[in-house]
């Protein structure tokens, strides 16, 4: 199983620290919940790309000898199954939905500000489509994480609904990483994950 842990460390710094990074150390198995610390079980590497960094980072793994589950800890700047970091993806989504940038305008803006940036229009289209398709699931998550949240009752138009949801995320959480981490904790999948069957 994969978990996300919150960190304020940048991808670059996380990468620099390598195996010396203070990874989370579970004192019980998050899967079977037996009160024995899972054993360290090496690392795997994955890509992490953001505005000013692109490289391989190490992901800490543990193994529970009781339920034979491997547990890996993804730092909160990563989204499961995405190479690009969550803040970059979320910035693109905000530029398009909140600040009304066109796809081309958004691409140009980001290219001007990011050292490592190889997106084309299709990346932006993909993230935008995925975010719009996930609105219902994101609202479900917001309701669980922030029980008193005021959600839009009926989604008027897709874009307007998306703007409201975006505002709830940007005002309710200090950083997109904290929203992303808490969403994953509460629902067990990422806010940008393909829709789970129950919501489709």
Residue that has been written with the tokens 């009752």 in this structure: 153
Least distance to Zn ion, CB of residue 26, Å: 10
Indicate the DSSP class of residue 196: P
Q: Are the C-beta atoms of 11 and 57 separated by less than 8 Å?
A: yes
Structure tokens at 180: 């992303």
**CB closer to Zn ion out of 18 and 37:** 37
3-state secondary structure string, 96-138? HHCCCCCHHHHHHHHHHHCCCCCCCHHHHHHHHHHHHHCHHHH
Least distance to Zn ion, CB of residue 88, Å: 34
Q: How far apart are CA 77 and CA 153, in angstroms?
A: 31
**CB closer to Zn ion out of 32 and 199:** 32
**CB closer to Zn ion out of 28 and 126:** 28
Least distance to Zn ion, CB of residue 61, Å: 13
The gap between the terminal CA atoms of the chain, to the nearest Å, is 23
Least distance to Zn ion, CB of residue 52, Å: 38
Q: Which positions lie near Zn ion, rule CB under 5 A? A: 29, 31-32, 64, 66-67
**CB closer to Zn ion out of 39 and 102:** 39
**CB closer to Zn ion out of 5 and 109:** 5
Least distance to Zn ion, CB of residue 118, Å: 40
């Amino acid at each position: 199983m994969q978990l996300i842990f919150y960190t304020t460390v940048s991808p670059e710094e996380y990468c620099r620290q390598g195996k010396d990074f203070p990874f989370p150390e579970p004192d019980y198995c998050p899967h079977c919940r037996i009160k024995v610390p899972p054993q360290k079980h090496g690392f795997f590497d994955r890509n992490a790309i953001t505005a000013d960094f692109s490289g391989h980072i190490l992901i800490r793994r543990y193994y529970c000898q009781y339920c034979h589950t491997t547990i890996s800890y993804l730092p909160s700047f990563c989204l499961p199954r995405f190479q690009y970091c969550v803040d970059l993806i979320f910035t693109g989504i905000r530029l398009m939905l909140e600040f009304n940038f066109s796809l081309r305008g958004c691409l140009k803006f980001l290219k001007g500000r990011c050292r490592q940036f190889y997106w084309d229009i299709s990346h932006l289209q993909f993230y935008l489509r995925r975010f719009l398709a996930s609105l219902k699931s994101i609202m479900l998550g917001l309701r669980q994480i922030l029980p008193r949240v005021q959600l839009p009752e009926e989604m008027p138009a897709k874009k307007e609904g998306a703007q409201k949801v975006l505002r709830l995320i940007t005002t309710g959480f200090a950083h997109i990483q904290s929203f992303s981490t808490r969403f994953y904790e509460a629902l067990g999948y990422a806010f940008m994950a393909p829709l789970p069957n129950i919501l489709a």
